[in-house]
Structures are given as structure tokens and as C-alpha cells.
């Protein structure tokens, strides 16, 4: 039955299954609750992932977990009527707020760069990348605008 799916589908499904199992582990769900999965447990996993992954990823997650159940001959008990409503609700949830960090400045970059050895090719590469990327990233705010409507186009 595994050969019935294309390689690209299997790659997408494996990524979605990894996401599912990582979410289950973070929630502390026992393996017996992960398969066969109950509607309530699957909804809980979706709510946990809300705001951190795209709607496309959540849809792939559902399809992959369902295919995984089918492949392992496990019953799929997720409520087919309730699931689209849950998916709509989860996709409408805003992402979790992120902690604001102080911007990187030369005073933060210099101590990190002084610990690098010039005799190690990896360290030289890291130093070069940091130096090359630092300046354009710092100047990016000068050439971007916060809101697209602020652009004065001819």
C-alpha cells in the first residue's frame, strides 16, 4: 500500500507526521492516545499548533495522519463534520505573541567575532558571513517602509 503514494507525497506526509508526533510529545500525550487518534485529541493537537504553522500545513497534517491510520489499518475516528469547523477556527486564531528582542549591534557582534580563530576555516567562514550580512541587514530599514501604502509611486 505504501507504493500507492508518490515520493513527493511521502515526503510531505513524513514532515506532517513528524510535526504531529512532536506536538503530541510537547502536549505529553501517551502513544496509546496518538493512534488511533480520537477527535478530541486531534483537535487538541491542532489547537496547540494554531498560529505557529500555516493552514496548508494543518491540512497536510490531517491528510497525513489519516493516511498513516489507513496504512496501519487503524480506525479513523476524527469527526468528519466537526473537523472543517475546527480547522477554520484554528486557522483564524492569531499567532502567539513573540518576545521583542534588542537589535543586534556592533557591540554585540564584536565579542562573538573575537572568539573565532582565524586558523579554522569554519570560523573564517562564520566571520565572513557575519561581516557580509551585518551591514545590509542593518541598512534594510533605510530602504523599506513599514506600510506599503506609504510608497509614493509615480
Give residue 120's pLDDT: 93
Q: What is the mean pLDDT of residues 94-120?
A: 81
The answer to the question of residue 65 being in a domain is yes
- Euclidean distance between CA atoms 59 and 77, whole angstroms: 17
Query: pLDDT-derived band of residue 131, with 50, 70 and 90 as boundaries?
Result: confident
The answer to the question of residue 136 being in a domain is yes
Give residue 137's pLDDT: 75
* First-to-final CA distance of the chain: 59
Could you give the number of structural domains in the chain?
2
The answer to the question of residue 152 being in a domain is no
3-class state of residue 88 by DSSP:
helix
Range of the domain at 60: 2-92
The answer to the question of residue 100 being in a domain is no
Give residue 3's pLDDT: 64
Give residue 29's pLDDT: 92
The answer to the question of residue 97 being in a domain is no
The answer to the question of residue 54 being in a domain is yes
Do 49 and 24 touch, CB atoms closer than 8 A?
no
Asked if 126 and 81 sit in the same domain, the reply is no
Asked if 79 and 110 sit in the same domain, the reply is no
> pLDDT (tens digit, 9 = 90+) per residue, 43-96?
999 988 888 888 888 888 888 899 888 888 999 888 888 888 888 888 888 777
DSSP class of residue 145? -
Give residue 119's pLDDT: 92
Asked if 81 and 13 sit in the same domain, the reply is yes
Give residue 22's pLDDT: 93
Amino acid at each position: 500500500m505504501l507504493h500507492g503514494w508518490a515520493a513527493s507525497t511521502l515526503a510531505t506526509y513524513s514532515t506532517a507526521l513528524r510535526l504531529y508526533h512532536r506536538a503530541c510529545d510537547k502536549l505529553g500525550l501517551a502513544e496509546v492516545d496518538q493512534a488511533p487518534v480520537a477527535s478530541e485529541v486531534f483537535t487538541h493537537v491542532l489547537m496547540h499548533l494554531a498560529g505557529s504553522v500555516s493552514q496548508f500545513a494543518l491540512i497536510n497534517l490531517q491528510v497525513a495522519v489519516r493516511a498513516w491510520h489507513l496504512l496501519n489499518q487503524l480506525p479513523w475516528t476524527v469527526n468528519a463534520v466537526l473537523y472543517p469547523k475546527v480547522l477554520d477556527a484554528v486557522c483564524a486564531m492569531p499567532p502567539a505573541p513573540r518576545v521583542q528582542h534588542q537589535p543586534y549591534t556592533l557591540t554585540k557582534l564584536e565579542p562573538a567575532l573575537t572568539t573565532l580563530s582565524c586558523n579554522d576555516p569554519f570560523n573564517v567562514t562564520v566571520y565572513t558571513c557575519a561581516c557580509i550580512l551585518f551591514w545590509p541587514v542593518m541598512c534594510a530599514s533605510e530602504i523599506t517602509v513599514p506600510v506599503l501604502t506609504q510608497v509614493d509611486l509615480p
